[in-house]
Structure 1
């Protein structure tokens, strides 16, 4: 039996004060609150959907900004979603899509990556190198990126134009679809390609291993890619996607955010969600074994036009 739970995520409205977003804590609730998206969870494991829904909602109860969440655990047939189709500027999250496109295109012509391509791919994922990403983006071209997106079923992802790959528009549904392709056999990516992507995501430098791995047990393998950028409208975009396997679970998490007053605020929001997800999947894990990300998270700051 699949258990389905819906509850409303309480994310406070915010107003701009001196260039920063601060929560509105007084006065009547805005009319839009009645139609705010809700965390929706289903699970083949009794009680898990309700617990995840309750804990994700609580983790977001005092956070401002717009947060989207996706979770899928193959082992327990569990999913959670919040704002699954809301669109965000990708920042460096798109780098996983760039690598997947490169490997998909190589598969079509039955070739291996060149030494140059391998070096660029490694720098792009493990260090979030922007120059390496731009080189591969120019090599592939938007047409090939769109070709991969169509093959992958990522129907609502829109590549950034004018060379601004960090402004690719993404959503949780498509990011979870991408993670699904990376973590299970399929006709789009070869087994070798999937293993290569996971290897690079597992070897991201320590300063960039924040976000979705926060709170994961030591028994779980952790694969992550993060991103952030700042614009004059809707503040900081801060995102994290991750794939995790071990301890009887095989799961992926995507958390996308914008409207953050600072980069660290967005990081903390993501990690609050990640910690409760890992805790609910591993309720008996010792606190001493849980992954604690760096307190000084870093990420490549993507160049974007003003506005």
Structure 2
């Protein structure tokens, strides 16, 4: 597909800069951009680790088609990785993490634990990616509350899906990383994200050693445009290779323009392997998810035939009145009276 191939070349224009002079042959676009693109991973405390991870992530994306965004944060090491992390994607089922955070936050504000029904819905929504449960919770949340959750987390670009279409929420890897930071402070949220059924536990789990637990949520959805969206976000906690160093980092991997779900999962897992190798080390508990274990069935977060995002509202027409702040336009009747020719004042009869 031509568009996918072009996006592949555009991605290499950035990735070529990450490896510098390694003797590898790069496309012409990569050669031209080499001096301009910033490092993928940065760390004031461990710059050598950041440089190595930049190379490993770039190598994982070599020859992969599609559009991929990466956001990683390890607060303990002061390390961040960013690749296209402000690009917008349809959320698909990772929007359920936002719903989870909003429901738990509302219960906390009301000074109570989640109701039994809320707890049942949240568990089904996160561990099995149940869409009916997600829709029920979504419809009981106001848009004002959901937007406040995003704002308080520091998410800057996420736009909620219209009506009941929470799966069409538009988001970025950077915003998902911010939301994960907020979610990581809620024990109940972490518990649920640590119980995802094995058939859906692909993506950011790939490459994690046995000493590290990955709490995750995935999304997988094909649409008429951008083919398959395949996303995986997670929080990794545990101990490193020495058994004493604490491990605590977050990663958000988003993608679209994938020809199949399997292809997208393989791309994201290559990045996840590089991240876990750099930040946790040790022998991976599992490698790539076998192809036969990846279903090509969509996550159902957006019903087939659902309309896309609503177009932006048209600009307001120019106003004749109220140019200055605080002024109020007069009624049409009053305006018409001012414009009408004045009648001569009648005089009392003598």
The alignment's TM-score, normalised by the length of structure 2, stands at 0.73
The offset of 1:65, in angstroms, is 1.1
Contact 1:93 1:225 in 2 (8 A): yes
Contact 2:212 2:280 in 1 (8 A): no
The offset of 1:87, in angstroms, is 0.6
Q: Indicate the structure (1 or 2) with the bigger Cα radius of gyration.
A: 2
Aligned counterparts of 1:99 and 1:259: Cα–Cα separation in 2: 28
The offset of 1:29, in angstroms, is 5.1
SS at match of 2:204: coil
Give the match for residue 209 of structure 2: 217
The offset of 1:48, in angstroms, is 0.3
The offset of 1:109, in angstroms, is 1.7
Give the match for residue 112 of structure 1: 113
**Larger deviation: 132-141 or 105-114?**
105-114
Give the match for residue 319 of structure 2: none
Aligned counterparts of 2:170 and 2:39: Cα–Cα separation in 1: 22
SS at match of 1:260: coil
Give the match for residue 147 of structure 1: 148
The offset of 1:61, in angstroms, is 1.4
Contact 1:91 1:167 in 2 (8 A): yes
Give the match for residue 256 of structure 2: 258
- 1:201 and 1:39, CA in 2 relative to 1: closer, same or farther beyond 3 A? farther
Report Cα offsets for 1:170-227 as digits up to 9, x if no partner: 101111111111224xxxxxxxxx0000000000000000000101000001101000
Aligned counterparts of 1:291 and 1:66: Cα–Cα separation in 2: 22
Report Cα offsets for 1:94-127 as digits up to 9, x if no partner: 1010010111112222122111110000000000
SS at match of 1:75: helix
Aligned counterparts of 1:233 and 1:256: Cα–Cα separation in 2: 16
Give the match for residue 8 of structure 1: none
SS at match of 2:235: strand
**Larger deviation: 260-269 or 101-110?**
101-110
Structure 1 residues 39-118: aligned runs within 5 Å: 40-43=40-43, 44-118=45-119
Matched, 1:297 2:303: no
The offset of 1:294, in angstroms, is 5.4
Contact 1:228 1:300 in 2 (8 A): yes
SS at match of 1:301: coil
Aligned counterparts of 1:123 and 1:41: Cα–Cα separation in 2: 36
2:189 maps to which of 194, 197, 214: 197
SS at match of 1:71: strand
Give the match for residue 137 of structure 1: 138
2:229 maps to which of 237, 243, 252: 237
Contact 2:70 2:173 in 1 (8 A): yes
Structure 2: stretches of 5+ with no match in the other structure: 10-26, 240-244, 309-350
The offset of 1:297, in angstroms, is 2.8
Aligned counterparts of 1:259 and 1:37: Cα–Cα separation in 2: 23
SS at match of 1:140: coil
Aligned counterparts of 1:151 and 1:226: Cα–Cα separation in 2: 23
Question: Between Structure 1 and Structure 2, how many residues are aligned?
Answer: 277
Contact 2:50 2:79 in 1 (8 A): yes
Structure 1: stretches of 5+ with no match in the other structure: 1-13, 185-193
User: What's the RMSD between the two structures over aligned residues?
Assistant: 2.4
The alignment's TM-score, normalised by the length of structure 1, stands at 0.83
Contact 1:89 1:237 in 2 (8 A): yes
Higher-strand-fraction structure: 1
